[in-house]
Amino acid sequence: MALPRKKFVAGNWKMNMTSSEVAPYLEVFRQETYQINNVDLAIIPPFTALAKASEILGGTQRIRLGAQNMSPEAKGAYTGEISATMLRDLFVRYVLVGHSERRRLFGETDELVHRKVITALKSELRPILCIGETLEERQAGQEKEVLEAQLQVALHGLTPEELEEIIIAYEPVWAIGTGLTATPEQAQEAHQFIRGFLKTSAGPEIAGKTRILYGGSVTAENAGELLSQEDIDGALVGGASLDPRSFAEIAASVTAE
């Protein structure tokens, strides 16, 4: 019998919070989550705040660091880019890959997302692979087709060992920063489809181990019902993670039976 998947909650601060705001945030968040031990916690600050967060956390295993983006290149003349090596130097453990805002606002393609996944894995960073459909695609009944296409390209050619390192985040684009949220039934249906894809393409063992997060206007008010669904293993939280107490409430709701 497979072991239950450990829940995971990550807070994506996006382009918010300065280096000077990290210490007071973490002081509150650590205190509020002191008794939460059965869920993996991560914060994903902007690049300028990573060094300060790394200094404060000191490599702790209880709250890990993630990065919001990463270059697919190892080093070189790529002005404005951040490499996996730079992230590892700050004890970053996770990296967002293919976030809907990177795809929509900065033109990131499925092929580029795949390259970033490969680079992250080679550098011993765990990719949080973000996938999701637009409102138009959902209204046209194409959401499963879109999810399958994104997964096929992003995960192409990966070994079972590499697949085990990947966390998937389902984030319906129409629910990112809009205040709209997928119903628990809609979210569960999408997560079940993703796990079914993994079962078919990689086998039941990988499908059973892979953690699939929900992201899309998650709040302390709606987290409990969303994250109680069978195939939802945690949350990628945006705006609500900017308040350490609200973010801690979400983490607590994940662990509630």
CA distances, 233 to each of 16, 22, 24, 51 (Å): 26, 27, 29, 29
The amino acid occupying position 170 is Y
The amino acid occupying position 114 is H
Which residues 6+ apart lie within 8 Å of 104 measured at CB?
173
Active site residues: 99, 171
Judge whether 224 and 250 are in contact, CB under 8 Å. no
How far apart are the C-alpha atoms of 257 and 248, rounded to whole Å? Answer: 16
